[in-house]
Amino acid sequence: MSTALIVLAAGKGTRMDSDLPKVLHRIGHAPMLWHAMRAGQALAPERCVVVAGHHAEMVEAAAAEHDPEALTVRQTEQLGTAHAVAQARAALDGFDGDAIVLYGDTPFIREETLEAMCAARATQDVVVLGFEAADPGRYGRLVTEGDSLERIVEFKDATEAERAITLCNSGVVAAKADLLFDLIDAVGNDNAAGEYYLTDIVGIARSRGLSAGVVRCDEAETLGVNSRAELAAAEAAFQARARAELMENGVTLLAPETLFVAWDTAIGRDTVVEPNVVIGPRVTVESGALIKSFCYLEDAHVSRGVQMGPFARLRPGAELAENVRVGNFVEIKNAQIHEGAKVNHLTYVGDADVGKGTNIGAGVITCNYDGVSKHRTVIGERVFVGAGSLLVAPVSVGDEAMTATGSVVTKDVPEGALAIARAAQDNKPGFARKLMSMLRARKAAAQAKKTKNV
């Protein structure tokens, strides 16, 4: 049976107190919406429909960025969850398969859970995802009889006996698409909130002699985000899960609670990550690397056997080949550092290629920006770039060449050549004492004038 996703993402999220739509607030450097979409995409859906509302154009752009084939529709009035799902009807016209309703502010539903719901559809007309709540609070309650789900009752409409039920509604629903919309057509708004509840479709289905069942999941999967405090809790939950998965897959974390990763971080086994490391989006670290303390990486690739840090930064486009060494207070941006090269101290390498076995000395800068455009520096293999050298791009340094310490290199350096590009030193006897005496006198006069004016 083919599957379609309907992701509800129309809410404003008033409690977030934000100009940003709730579903676009980030967890693991990615909008919550992306997390929900990714979970559903494990089912290889034939269609994915995102229902936007508040700041719809922003939500639509985010959905398209994650999945260019996603369809978007708008809920212009906020009349409840059933009304929101109904907006996807036209987008699923002609679709003959199951539809699963997900929520853009519920980012932790697992792929395995959705697969279980699809499997349950073989015997149930409507399948609802439920969970046993430690504190049921104001969740909707699932009223069951044996293995059958009879109805869902919203907390505000529940009796005292129904409120005592601990099996709660996650909101996630699966049904054949045409049946889902048929049931929604029968939903009314005669309730405490005057809204069209998607939950009412269970009672309607049962009244027609159709079957309904529950798939249970861990409560942590159903965590919804409605406030900044809940967003922080969701981020903590995401990081805890991500760290656990890394360690299960053979990564050594010396202080797991101090590592922060992105939703798409990939780290190979036998890599060691020291304390206080932050990894942004689009980062891959291959096996056997060593990431020392206080490093920051984003949009970068780190190959096998690399050692970097402490206090190193990889910016977008950084590519470190095998066995590269990147040391303390080094920043690399849009640059390829080839096998065995070393960039060990206090250096900026931007818009550059650094060849195999090359050594970049302390305090070296590739001067890549002229105030208008970026330019590239190309450094060959087995080059020695002397400490304090400034390489003014566009410029190239040939294989096995050298630059003298403190050189400002503005012309290409041929293969095997030594470039010396610094002004001749001129020592002026006694001038330092005279200069300091003059400066101290000037400072004393200024202080005296200030005291007199007071």
Tens of pLDDT along 342-358? 999 999 999 999 999 99
What is the rounded average pLDDT of the residues 181-191? 92
In this prediction, residue 78 has a pLDDT band, given cuts at 50, 70 and 90, of confident
Cα within 13 Å of Cα(330), Cβ side: 25
Q: Outline where 138-224 has alpha helix (H).
A: 160-163, 177-185, 200-207
Cis upstream peptide for 316 (omega within 30°) = no
pLDDT of residue 165 exceeding 80: yes
Is residue 404 within 8 Å of 422, Cβ to Cβ?
Answer: yes
Helices and strands: H and E segment counts in the chain: 9, 36
In this prediction, residue 12 has a pLDDT band, given cuts at 50, 70 and 90, of confident
pLDDT of residue 374 exceeding 80: yes
pLDDT in the model for residue 13:
85
Q: Could you tell me the pTM of the whole model?
A: 0.89
Q: What is the pLDDT of residues 395-450, one digit of tens each?
A: 999 999 999 999 999 999 999 999 999 988 899 999 999 999 999 999 999 999 88
Give the burial string for 321-339 (b: 16+ CB within 10 Å, else e).
bbbbbbbbbbbbbbbbbbe
What is the rounded average pLDDT of the residues 231-256? 97
Cα 336 from Cα 233, distance rounded (Å): 38
pLDDT in the model for residue 48:
97
Cα 449 from Cα 388, distance rounded (Å): 42
Q: What percent of the chain has pLDDT over 70?
A: 100
**What is the Cα Rg of the chain in Å?**
31
H or E stretch at 175: strand 167-176
Give the Cβ contact number of residue 353 at 10 Å. 17
What does the longest C-alpha to C-alpha distance in the chain come to?
105
Say which DSSP state 93 is in.
T
pLDDT in the model for residue 360:
98
Pairing of strands 26-27, 30-31: antiparallel
pLDDT of residue 373 exceeding 80: yes
What is the rounded average pLDDT of the residues 74-88? 94
101 φ, ψ (degrees, to nearest 5): -95, 120
* Catalytic entry in 25, 29, 301, 345: 345
Any idea what the Cα angle at residue 324 is, between residues 321 and 325, rounded to 5°?
Answer: 155
Give the Cβ contact number of residue 249 at 10 Å. 12
Burial (CB < 10 A; 0-12, 13-18, 19+), residue 194, is exposed
User: Is 301 in the active site?
Assistant: no
Which whole-number Å values give the CA distances from 415 to 81, 361, 367, 409, 419, in the listed order? 69, 19, 21, 15, 11
H or E stretch at 425: none
Q: What is the pLDDT of residues 307-334, one digit of tens each?
A: 999 999 999 999 999 999 999 999 999 9
Q: What is the pLDDT of residues 89-118, one digit of tens each?
A: 999 999 999 999 999 999 999 999 999 999
SS3 183: helix
pLDDT of residue 56 exceeding 80: yes
Cα within 13 Å of Cα(354), Cβ side: 36
Say which residues have a Cβ less than 8 Å from residue 136's Cβ, sequence separation at least 6. Answer: 163, 165, 166, 168
- Sign of the four-CA dihedral 236, 238, 241, 243: negative
Residue type, 104: G
Cα 34 from Cα 101, distance rounded (Å): 15
Q: How far is CA 259 from the centre of its chain?
A: 14
Which domains does the chain carry?
3-222 (3.90.550.10), 228-419 (2.160.10.10)
pLDDT in the model for residue 110:
94
SS3 24: helix
